[in-house]
Chain A
């Protein structure tokens, strides 16, 4: 296979949601072992793109290959882990019961439950019902579920939302460790200072890719002082381009 090196390969992906086209022909190539930040304004299509990559999004046309297989293939289900935006865990179970259930389905070692509880710093609340946790704790339970086993690709939709800087720093160190071990991570975020920790950045706006570059490359091409500034410049440039045409 020619493209077997790419962890994710997307060609001309179009997605309609509720009669509107929300992704207008996306092309993307994610190298293995990279941490890719998916950024952009709210409603820009980040979640839709991630859903297409894990194979839960009905797509209009185009090609989405993940680890050399069509997205959503049965063989990918134990190799790709997904954390949805919004916490997809059972409120009426404890943290440990949630993770034990996902572990049983994945068929990985029981010790994995303790490992991910530790990795997400949930030890103190491991036996509390999820409905009694704070928003940030809840989202960490959801993240812990995605860390079970040894997935080759992690697709995380806003994993650090609602977390304090110390915890965010710890999680990003974990992401970097995973990537150093060859795991590919796609992480969407609204927090721009997280962008600097990525190997590549993807800026999605109104269903199109405005930029797909390294953080350094982005600063250079836009002349921005930091990633936030660079993105603002890109978005401004795109907006004036549209005005110029019409």
Chain B
């Protein structure tokens, strides 16, 4: 490992994000706005109390997936990736640099979203707020790392968007937002057990209810994030056709 190359890459990516107000807005403001919209929508019903925690997983995950995959794709298309791959840095330095930069963005995003959900939308949380924040960050990092991996298999922005129905929507549908996971048909239930977003949502729901036995769920989410980073580094080829 060469920590300076990883850190230099993370700093460079953060600098690029800071240059673009739209990306900042998408990362920091949009998830909170969507959560606010949900709260408003279900204002006269008890629904928001049930799905609110899941929203803290859903919107940051989707936004992070999109922003990360498109910015790494831009790197590939602009030729800068080709240049980087001729320089003395490891492929993992590039991937970790991106994961780190968007990890920092994820902390800001999750902080704003959690604060907004609780203090503005009135979401009730029995358990630890810090734990809730930590899981929300981890979930956003999961979106980042899956986005990194997806961009390796895409050549255009359009292809990245095609990954949404393949990788993201099934996780949303089966994650327990529309129907609690224990009420799903058996087959769908077992599939949803294998999807990392389900476990992020389970963990957030558990914290909101005050039961904090979420070690297993966190381990699964972290394993997926780590696996995506390693696979992302492996699929990054120095030689191209």
Residue interface bits B77-110, CB-to-A below 8 A is 1, else 0: 0111011111111000000000000000000000
Q: With both chains docked as a complex, state the minimum distance between the C-beta of B87 and any C-beta of chain A, in angstroms.
A: 5
A101:B82 contact, CB within 8 angstroms: no
Among A35-43, A87-95, A160-168, A235-243, the stretch that binds chain B is A87-95
B19:A129 contact, CB within 8 angstroms: yes
Number of interface residues of A (CB under 8 A): 32
Q: Let me know if B241 is at the binding interface, CB within 8 A.
A: yes
Q: With both chains docked as a complex, state the minimum distance between the C-beta of A80 and any C-beta of chain B, in angstroms.
A: 7
CB < 8 Å neighbour of A56 from B20, B80, B238:
B238
Number of interface residues of B (CB under 8 A): 25
B78:A105 contact, CB within 8 angstroms: no
Residues of chain A in range 87-127 having any CB-CB distance to chain B below 8 Å: 87-93, 97, 101-102, 104-107
Provided the pairs A72-B238, A105-B5 are in contact, do residues A93 and B85 lie with their beta carbons within 8 angstroms? no
* A157 CA / B2 CA spacing, docked (Å): 29
B239:A56 contact, CB within 8 angstroms: yes
Q: Which residues of B contact A145 (CB under 8 A)?
A: 83
A91:B15 contact, CB within 8 angstroms: no
Q: Let me know if B235 is at the binding interface, CB within 8 A.
A: no
A93:B15 contact, CB within 8 angstroms: yes
Residues of chain A in range 53-70 having any CB-CB distance to chain B below 8 Å: 54-58
Residue interface bits B202-241, CB-to-A below 8 A is 1, else 0: 0000000000000000000000000000000000001111
Q: Which residues of B contact A88 (CB under 8 A)?
A: 78-80, 82-83
A104:B8 contact, CB within 8 angstroms: yes
Q: With both chains docked as a complex, state the minimum distance between the C-beta of A141 and any C-beta of chain B, in angstroms.
A: 11
* A239 CA / B238 CA spacing, docked (Å): 37
Q: Let me know if A82 is at the binding interface, CB within 8 A.
A: yes
* A104 CA / B10 CA spacing, docked (Å): 12
B87:A105 contact, CB within 8 angstroms: yes
A93:B87 contact, CB within 8 angstroms: no
Q: With both chains docked as a complex, state the minimum distance between the C-beta of A34 and any C-beta of chain B, in angstroms.
A: 21
* A90 CA / B83 CA spacing, docked (Å): 11
Q: Let me know if B16 is at the binding interface, CB within 8 A.
A: yes
Q: Which residues of A contact B239 (CB under 8 A)?
A: 55-58, 72
* A78 CA / B5 CA spacing, docked (Å): 13
A105:B238 contact, CB within 8 angstroms: no
CB < 8 Å neighbour of B83 from A18, A55, A82, A91:
A82
Residue interface bits B168-201, CB-to-A below 8 A is 1, else 0: 0000000000000000000000000000000000
B241:A17 contact, CB within 8 angstroms: yes
Q: With both chains docked as a complex, state the minimum distance between the C-beta of A89 and any C-beta of chain B, in angstroms.
A: 7
CB < 8 Å neighbour of B12 from A17, A57, A101:
A101
* A88 CA / B79 CA spacing, docked (Å): 5
CB < 8 Å neighbour of B240 from A57, A106, A107:
A57
Q: Let me know if A84 is at the binding interface, CB within 8 A.
A: yes
Residues of chain B in range 54-89 having any CB-CB distance to chain A below 8 Å: 78-80, 82-89
Q: Would you give 11 A-B contacts (Cβ < 8 Å), ordered by A?
A: A17-B241, A56-B239, A57-B239, A58-B239, A84-B82, A88-B82, A89-B80, A90-B78, A92-B20, A93-B15, A105-B84
**Pairs A-B, 4 closest by C-beta atoms:** A88-B79, A104-B8, A77-B88, A88-B83
Name B's A-contacting residues (CB within 8 A). Answer: 4-5, 8-9, 11-12, 15-16, 19-20, 78-80, 82-89, 238-241
Name A's B-contacting residues (CB within 8 A). Answer: 17-18, 54-58, 72, 74, 77-78, 80-82, 84, 86-93, 97, 101-102, 104-107, 129, 145
